Amino acid sequence: MGAQVKSGSSKKLPEPDINITPLVDVVLVLLIIFMVIAPELEHGERVELPSVIQPDENKSKLDPITVTLTARGNLFLEKEVLADVPALEARLKSMHGSEPDRRVVLKGDATVQYAKMRDAFAACQRAGYTGVALSVSQKGKGGAGEES
């Protein structure tokens, strides 16, 4: 006699479905655009850099010897304070005799006088180390940048 009311709905509501195909298409198009444009962003003319035909296979696997000149004029060999450049040269000669394959890295404060750096560099060369590297910081890092 009367109408019956159902408590639940017989129709199921549609569930949202995420379609990522358009997102992948847009990302791939952007990737291709950046791959084509990126080489053109380099200013100036293209330069073909020289390559090394015979790389230095005799490269030392040992840690380099670090010689440091501070702003106050102190001279360090590794972490040891040295009195002067002749003492540095004597110590480097003895180290070169026992480990001739080690390299020397010369680090100096930006305010150190050129003559003092030149003397330390010459002492390293007189000790027998032909390839002395100078350690510098990257431009724009304010002196606390990476060293190379």
Please write the tens of the pLDDT for every residue from 25-56. Answer: 999 999 999 998 887 776 555 556 666 665 55
If pLDDT is split at 50, 70 and 90, which confidence band does 145 have?
very low
Q: What is the pTM of this model?
A: 0.52
Does residue 119 lie in a domain region?
yes
Structural domain count, the chain: 1
3-class SS string, the chain: CCCCCCCCCCCCCCCCCCCCHHHHHHHHHHHHHHHHHHHHHCCCCCCCCCCCCCCCCCCCCCCCEEEEECCCCCEEECCEEECCHHHHHHHHHHHHHHCCCCCEEEEECCCCCHHHHHHHHHHHHHCCCCCEEEECECCCCCCCCCEC
Q: Is residue 67 part of a domain?
A: no
Do the domain assignments include residue 24? no
**How much is the pLDDT for 20?**
92
Residue-range definition of the domain harbouring residue 93 = 79-135
